[in-house]
């Protein structure tokens, strides 16, 4: 099955802030889905195929991006005009030896970081939903609902990659 590359994706703005609670549920559920996926796979978590990241490195990548999502949420809430740019080379993920780390510790770290993001997102005021900042790569305004959708899609993109790497995709 053909998958669209992440950087080829487009993210039109979401007009209905009423979708925000449902998208938050996706974000909050990612640690449980990730933990369940790893439990079901249980093997070859550090195997790299064709130069692609291993499943465990995919988990590490999700960890690496949590501080970016957290900062971007705070930037939107704080009425900043531009969002922090991501390192599009993913240098931290490439340089960190996630394959040498304990998977349970990685899952706990991701869960903790996501919990921090959820605390910010669950504490917003209604007026925060109307604020926006420019996304550096997409060059478009991004509101909180757009950010949470972007993050949920990013989570699912990497969860799907883990499924492919496990041989179940």
What are the tens digits of pLDDT across the range 88-105? 999 999 999 999 999 999
Q: How many domains does the chain have?
A: 1
Secondary structure class of 1 (helix, strand, coil): coil
Whole-angstrom Cα distance, residue 132 to residue 141? 6
Domain membership of residue 151 (yes or no) is: yes
Is residue 169 predicted with pLDDT exceeding 70?
no
Whole-angstrom Cα distance, residue 169 to residue 159? 11
- pTM value? 0.94
Domain membership of residue 9 (yes or no) is: no
Residue 97 near residue 44 (C-beta atoms within 8 A): no
* Residue 72: CATH number of its domain: 1.20.120.450
CA dihedral for 122, 126, 129, 133, sign (positive or negative)? negative
User: Range of 111's domain?
Assistant: 16-165
Domain membership of residue 66 (yes or no) is: yes
Residue 141 near residue 134 (C-beta atoms within 8 A): yes
Domain membership of residue 47 (yes or no) is: yes
Residue 35 near residue 159 (C-beta atoms within 8 A): no
State pLDDT tens for residues 102-159.
999 999 999 999 999 999 999 999 999 999 999 999 999 999 999 999 999 999 999 9
Is residue 1 predicted with pLDDT exceeding 70?
no
Domain membership of residue 45 (yes or no) is: yes
Q: Which tokens sit at 163? A: 């499924």
Whole-angstrom Cα distance, residue 18 to residue 6? 26
Domain membership of residue 1 (yes or no) is: no
Domain membership of residue 11 (yes or no) is: no
Q: Which tokens sit at 109? A: 């770290």
């Amino acid at each position: 099955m053909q998958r669209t590359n992440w950087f080829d994706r487009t993210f039109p703005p979401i007009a209905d802030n009423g979708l925000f609670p449902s998208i938050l549920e996706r974000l909050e559920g990612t640690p449980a889905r990730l933990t369940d996926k790893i439990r079901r796979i249980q093997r070859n978590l550090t195997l790299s195929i064709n130069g692609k990241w291993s499943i465990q490195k995919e988990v590490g990548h999700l960890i690496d991006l949590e501080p970016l999502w957290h900062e971007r949420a705070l930037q939107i809430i704080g009425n900043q005009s531009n969002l922090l740019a991501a390192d599009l080379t993913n240098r931290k993920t490439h340089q960190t030896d996630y394959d040498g780390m304990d998977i349970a510790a990685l899952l706990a770290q991701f869960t903790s970081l996501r919990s921090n993001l959820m605390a910010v997102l669950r504490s917003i005021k209604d007026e925060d939903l109307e604020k926006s900042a420019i996304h550096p790569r997409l060059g478009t305004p991004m509101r909180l609902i757009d950010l949470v959708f972007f993050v949920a899609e990013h989570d699912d993109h990497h969860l799907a990659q883990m499924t492919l790497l496990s041989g179940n995709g």
